[in-house]
Amino acid sequence: MSLLTQKALVHYSKGGDFVVGDVPIPVPGPHEVLVKVMAVALNPVDWMNQAEAYFTPSYPFIAGMDGAGIVEHVGAAVTTLVKGDKILFQGDFNNDHGTFQQFCLVPAEIAAKIPEGITFEQAATIPLGLGTAFCGLWNHDPAAKSIDFPAPWEEGGAKFKGKPALILGGASSVGQYAIQLAKLAGFSPIVTSASPRNAKMLRAIGATHVFDRALSNDDALAMIRTATAGEAVTFAYDAVSRTETASLAYDALASDGALLLVLPDVLPADKRANGDTKKVVSVYGVVHPPENRKIGVEVFSRVTGWLETGVLVPNKVELLPGGLSGIPDGLRRMKENKVSGMKLVALPQETA
């Protein structure tokens, strides 16, 4: 570790407060780069992990799963990035790779260059939300939590053209990327639930039908069936994953359809009939583990081009004040369900 220090947002115990403190700046390994972190985005897993330590290996701990910044130092074996490159990347559940700090390490093969016209703030909204969408959809590793659909660039990837898809929680970060990947895969119609104020934004990124998330399940199911002309849904993504939303998605599925959940399976036991062939998977969207690395490398290699051509559109940004110091209040708002249609973003270099 370097003797040089930086500011980081640290918590020291399960359920403990986040505290801005000084920590060493790490040194990249052969296949890593050191990044000056210019923008970080907040995710529900950040406050969930703070409260329950689901993914905390030890304390003190530096969280943060979304980042964008400038390459400062390059590991000896890295050939794809150079000092000065602007990149977006996922963090991981260890202190060297967590993004809630001013400098962190990034495996070079799972970073994407930020094209002209995309800000650091916009770029930081992409990595975990997108990963949570594509890891569940297109990962073929036997150990992965995936429905194992062929990707659009693979043989058989065109078979979903014209098939209906359902995305619940469309205005969430994951929901927005799930809509865009469903469009890329050729699904149509793409039906989603959201607050009415977010309907226009969701149609702009690929949703064909938006229904009010406040509808009862019976009314929502009727609207879904109207939107699909009575055809059952081939693919559903529940970016909310409460019992009510998972039940709605399951009821809308075709008998051989597939449902992705962002949280552990909360479907009532009586939903699954004997011999039911509907597939239900709780996704894990972090691209660092071995089972997710290959699809992570594949998709991150395409992200720059997708951003340049408009295939992929970042989330809208709400900027938090105070650099890293503004993150705890943002996480509180997320926990209280006071954020909708926006990604909260902080600028670590502005930390006092």
Domain annotation covers residue 300: no
Question: 27 and 93 in one domain?
Answer: yes
98 shares a domain with 210: no
- The pLDDT of residue 83 is 98
As a whole number of angstroms, the distance between CA 236 and CA 247 comes to 11
Mean pLDDT along residues 78-97: 98
Amino acid letter, residue 120 = F
* Residue 227 covered by a domain: yes
224 with 243: CB under 8 angstroms?
no
pLDDT number for residue 23 = 97
CA distances from 130 to 18, 221, 313, 314 (A): 26, 27, 11, 10
Q: Is residue 291 part of a domain?
A: no
Residues 141 and 259 in one domain: yes
Same-domain status, 64 and 191: no
Which pLDDT score, from 0 to 100, does residue 3 have? 58
Q: CA 261, CA 90: separation in Å to the nearest integer?
A: 20
Q: Based on the fold, state whether residues 330 and 197 are members of the same structural domain.
A: no
Q: How do residues 1-13 score in pLDDT, each as one tens digit?
A: 355 999 999 999 9
CATH number at residue 218: 3.40.50.720
Find the CATH number of the domain harbouring 114.
3.90.180.10
Question: Which residue matches tokens 């801005």?
Answer: 20
Number of domains in the chain: 2
- pLDDT at residue 49 greater than cutoff 60: yes
Residue 30 lies in a domain: yes
User: Is a pLDDT exceeding 90 seen at residue 274?
Assistant: no
User: Taking 50 as the threshold, does the pLDDT of residue 195 lie above it?
Assistant: yes
> Is the CB of residue 305 less than 8 Å from the CB of residue 153?
no
Q: Would you say residue 163 lies in a domain?
A: yes
DSSP run (H or E) holding 38: strand 32-41
- Closest-CA residue to 48 (of 311, 268, 262): 262
Evaluate whether 257 touches 160 at the Cβ level (below 8 Å): no
Query: Among the three residues 264, 282, 300, which one is the final residue of a domain in this structure?
Result: 282
pTM above threshold 0.85: yes
Residue 1: predicted pLDDT: 39
**Residue type at 149 in one-letter notation:** F
Q: Which residues pair with 325 in a beta bridge?
A: none
Which domain, by its residues, includes 240? Answer: 130-282
Residue 259 has pLDDT above 90, yes or no: yes
Residue 24 shares a structural domain with residue 48:
yes
Express each pLDDT in 219-249 by its tens digit.
999 999 999 999 999 999 999 999 999 999 9
pLDDT surpassing 50 at residue 210: yes
Confidence check: pLDDT of 258 > 70: yes
Residues 21 and 160 in one domain: no
Region 30-34 average pLDDT: 98
From residue 223, how far is each of 147, 210, 229, 345 by CA, in Å?
Answer: 25, 9, 10, 34
Residues 217 and 339 in one domain: no
3-state secondary structure 55-115: CCCCCCEECCCEEEEEEEEECCCCCCCCCCCEEEEECCCCCCCCCCECEEEEEHHHEEECC
CB atoms within 10 A of CB 229: 8
pLDDT digit string, tens, across residues 107-159: 999 999 999 999 999 999 999 999 999 999 999 999 999 999 999 999 999 99
The mean of the pLDDT values for the chain is 96
pLDDT at 273 over 80: no
Same domain assignment for residues 134 and 117: no
Instruction: For residues 153 and 138, give the distance between their C-alpha atoms in angstroms, rounded to a whole number.
Output: 11
Could you tell me if 136 and 67 lie in one domain? no
Q: Are 190 and 146 in contact (CB under 8 A)?
A: no
Residue 51 lies in a domain: yes
Asked if residue 271 has pLDDT above 60, the reply is yes
Same domain, 121 and 136: no
What is the spatial distance between Cα 236 and Cα 249, in angstroms, rounded to a whole number?
6
Same domain? For 199 and 261 the reply is: yes
H or E element, residue 192: strand 190-194
The share of the chain scoring above pLDDT 90, in percent, equals 96
CA distance 24 to 346: 21
Whether 305 is in a domain gets the answer no
Structure tokens at 197: 């104020």
Is 308 contained in some domain?
no
